[in-house]
Amino acid sequence: MRDENCLFCKIIAGDIPSAKVYEDEDVFAFRDINPQAPVHVLVVPKEHVCCAACVTEENSRVVAKCFEAIAKIGKAEGLESGYRVINNCGEDGGQSVMHLHFHLIGGRKLGEKII
């Protein structure tokens, strides 16, 4: 279900242009507007789920679909030696767009781990 006020819902619908890298029935992925590495892709479920804290038994299937897509995109982007997947959740987690998304970051040796 789409949220009319959501930036990523508008990108998924094509109302706002993006550099799409992957799409299937459940998932849309596009390049981050402010890349932090040579590859920085945002992987989002088409269904509007606001954040990781909004994942439930009813909608958790789309999270698995996002990770299936991440594995495919990682291969397609040539990230055989690895990458990082990040989810920011809520205000304290630094989430700025309230539509669940995973940052797929790679293409260089990434810096110090934060966990």
Give the nearest distance from C-beta 106 to ligand DGP in angstroms: 15
Q: Which of 40, 48, 99, 101 is catalytic?
A: 101
Which residue stretch of 21-29, 55-63, 71-79, 94-102 sits at the interface with ligand DGP (rule: CB under 6 A)? 94-102
Q: Which of 34, 82, 92, 112 binds ligand DGP (CB under 6 A)?
A: 34
Q: Which is nearer to ligand DGP, 39 or 80 (CB)?
A: 39
The count of other CB atoms within 10 Å of the CB of residue 12 is 23
Longest CA–CA separation in the chain, Å:
39
Residue 64, CB half-sphere, CA atoms under 13 Å: how many? Answer: 6
Active site (annotated) includes residue 103: no
Q: Does 68 bind ligand DGP (CB under 6 A)?
A: no
Token pair for residue 43?
Answer: 């992987």
Which residue stretch of 28-36, 60-68, 73-81, 107-115 sits at the interface with ligand DGP (rule: CB under 6 A)? 28-36
Quote the DSSP letter at residue 12: H
End-to-end Cα spacing for the chain: 33
Q: Which residues are catalytic?
A: 101
